[in-house]
Structure 1
Amino acid sequence: MRLLWLGVLVLALLAACGPIGQGPLPVVTGAFGVRPVITIPDGVPDPRPRVTVLSAGSGRPTMPGDVVLADVEVRRWSGNLPYANTYDDHQPARVVFDGRHVPDSWREALIGRPAGSRVMLVGPAALSYGPGPPLGGTRPAETLVLVFDILGGYPPDARLVGRALPDVPNDRAPRVLIGGSGPPVRAGAKVVVQYVAVEWPGRRVVDSSYLRGGPSAFTLGPGAAPPGWVAGLAGQRVGARVAFPTEEAGRPLLYVVDILDVLDTK
């Protein structure tokens, strides 16, 4: 009787995580960190979400409550049509696992995975589309294919070790507030940051990663990072806190940025 009970329990757990090998799965090629090539097979996809680890990374596993940063490619099963991706705009998705607005399929795909992992999620749009409103042109039952390159998970309040939240300087002079000792940041790299932006001269906070839920990742390049970030962060090191002025839409701003990590996805 005990063995029968254990068997029923195992089957129930497996069913909760998705079907066991039912329906064809896409083939994904390409290296981690590079936009994947997805080949959709013939046949009818399974109607329930399925998560497949395509390659396992060696970094810190993501944890419940983390902010997970990942590049993602989303395609429609029908016709293998592109739907959305973060590779082209060089700004990874930020998924805030705060108990709200994140489907269970994304939780299964992204939580407990080591940084550097590539994971595929296949399922109906109603159960597989992530946080935020879905883009137009899809039906709830339409199958989507999502391939995640998991860059890392970070606590929502991540900041420089042993340091308080940043104070805003009294002027807009660029400066290093805290020197870093980690890897250097170069133009074109992906950096993980916490930041505060204030308007000048009023010093009113107009943007903050803390208010948005946690760390963000940007590629330091034109059109990917906010204006002034390449000049403000390139040449600094992980662990630094820097302040630098920018101007956005004709409005003078001052950023205070903590450099938490630099990601090498090549």
Structure 2
Amino acid sequence: MRRRRATALPLQCPPSVAPLSVAPLSVALLLAPLLVTGCTGEPAGALDLKVGGSFGARPTIVFPDGKPAAGLQVDELAAGKGERLATDDVAIVQYTAHVWDGRDNRLVDSSFNRGTPAAFPVGELLPGLERALRGRRVGSRVIAAIPPEDGFGANPPQGIGTKEELFYVVDILGAHHKGVSVKAAGGTIAGVRVGGGAWPALAVPATPPPARFTAKVLAKGNGRKTQAGQLVVTQYEGALWSRRRVFDATWTTGRPKAFKLGDGSVIKAWDKALVGVPVGSRVLMVVPPAYGYGPGGHPAYGIKGSDTLVFVVDVIAAY
């Protein structure tokens, strides 16, 4: 969960954990990237340009003279062999986005500039991006030229004109489906109980909360340990101790959310409890205000500055 920039929610995080901090332009473009698989110096088929670099690495792009042809144009430079992306999946991608104007073709966003891949919620992307991305396989590199009518339309983010065409190169690193879960056993900590199974519902006792931060790995996964600076894909549920009320849960919709760990993007509790945990683990934590949103709380989620929070988190993947 992200902090709101000191205490903000994640783009796809529980309200109790602060979401990753992403500049407005990055957030907007996050919902407008395209697929691409690794190719070096290969012409882009129907698109008269060249994209170089290996899959997963920052691409080099040589634009032709003049403006692109009208209409949405998509080309798959290399086809992956992994799972296909479907609506409600979360795609983990590396991407680069330019304005293709036939002049400087300026770079406007890139996951490489933030040091971690990005998470794209399939089904909530720009129209052109949806058409380019859905159905592609993990391991693919796709490029797309997106005209304004298939992009941001009349309301683009700051830095992009209403008539400017976008060009994306996207490498699909992973796909995480709706309903994915660790499906581990339940457990208890400080009187808080968590049921087992795919949706580990929280039960908070009607007693005063403990003053200290506490975390427990209820089930230890078999994957690699997470590291600070990684993008971690999670399912989670968060509750307010004082009112014993759930304020956010990815399991409600089934779609996982991803957050960057170890750089202050999420609340202190998540960095402390989730860094170094093997992928596939389920973690339960009790979070006093100093490890959550602090004195300001998080009004949008009904969190007061004095509220102790409780989280159960499934660590699905790390990139």
The TM-score bracket by the shorter chain reads: 0.7 to 0.9
Aligned match of 1:7:
none
| Structure 1 residue identity aligned to 2:318 | V
Contact 1:124–1:140 under 8 Å retained in 2:
no
| 2:217 aligned with 1:179 | no
1:230 to 254, 264, 271: 271
2:170 to 148, 166, 173: 148
2:113 to 73, 76, 88: 88
CA pair 201-143 structure 1, distance change in 2 beyond 3 A:
same
SS of the aligned residue for 1:52 comes to: strand
Contact 2:236–2:250 under 8 Å retained in 1:
yes
User: How many Å apart are 1:187 and its aligned residue?
Assistant: 2.5
2:98 to 65, 75, 79: 75
Contact 2:47–2:73 under 8 Å retained in 1:
no
Q: Structure 2: state its 5+ residue gaps.
A: 1-43, 185-196, 298-307
Q: CA RMSD in A?
A: 3.0
Matches within 5 A, 1:1-266: 24-25=48-49, 27-78=50-101, 79-89=104-114, 90=116, 92-97=118-123, 101-129=124-152, 134-161=156-183, 163-168=197-202, 170=204, 173-210=214-251, 214-244=255-285, 245=287, 246-250=291-295, 251=297, 252-263=308-319
CA pair 91-167 structure 1, distance change in 2 beyond 3 A:
farther
Contact 1:66–1:96 under 8 Å retained in 2:
yes
Q: Distance in 2 between matches of 1:248 and 1:21?
A: 50
| Regions of 4+ moved over 4 Å | 20-23
Contact 2:228–2:263 under 8 Å retained in 1:
no
| Structure 2 residue identity aligned to 1:24 | D
| Structure 1 residue identity aligned to 2:48 | P
User: How many Å apart are 1:53 and its aligned residue?
Assistant: 2.0
Equivalenced residue count is 238
| Structure 1 residue identity aligned to 2:122 | V
| TM-score normalized with structure 2 length | 0.63
| Structure 2 residue identity aligned to 1:44 | K
Q: Structure 1: state its 5+ residue gaps.
A: 1-19
CA pair 198-187 structure 1, distance change in 2 beyond 3 A:
same
Contact 2:72–2:128 under 8 Å retained in 1:
yes
Q: Percent identity?
A: 33
